[in-house]
Amino acid sequence: MKGVAAQLPDGARLSPLLLVRGMESPLVWIGILLLLVFLGLFLSVLSREDLSFVLPVLSVGYILNVASARVFLHEPVSPVRWAGTVFIVLGVVMVSVTARATARAARAAEGATGAAAPAAGTGAAGASVAEAEDPPC
């Protein structure tokens, strides 16, 4: 979009014309395609994991954002911004540890109640989807 904006006169840089011209750029279409891929993967992960686990872990994207701004767009990255990425990494590590703990607790609960109790969260519809599909990989 920065490339598209640079080709327009100054006054048109905030106009709808920018959106129309943006549609002509293959990079914008690649971006839209990648957004759709993101949405599909996000939904798939949400079907399997807690929202309170997925959201913090997804913030790894902010680190990739900072790194790619530095590497590909040659934007300057301030020490404050790098410090922010360190906080995100620490936070994600902490949240990831809780995922293992939750899985262990779920297995323990399953073992305690026996195999007779189906997964309450997924329900009958979820069970039929899981049965009909191949295992991952």
Partner 1 sequence: MLNVLLLAVLVLAEGASDVCVTRAMKSVGEVNTLVPRELLRIGRRVLATGAFRLGLVFMATGFFAFLALLARVDMSVVVPATALIYVVSMLGAKYVLKEEVSTLRWAGTALVCLGVVLTSLP
Could you list the residues that contact partner 1 (CB under 8 A)? Answer: 40, 43-44, 46-48, 50-53, 55-56, 59, 62-63, 65-66, 78, 80-81, 83-95, 97-98, 101-102, 105, 121-123, 125-130, 132-136
Is 119:126 a contact under the CB 8 Å cutoff? Answer: yes
Q: How far is the CB of 116 from partner 1 (least distance, A)?
A: 20
- 26/80 with CB nearer partner 1: 80
Give the HSE-up count for residue 34: Cα atoms under 13 Å, Cβ half-sphere.
6
Residues 98, 100: Cα–Cα separation, whole Å: 5
Q: How far is the CB of 7 from partner 1 (least distance, A)?
A: 21
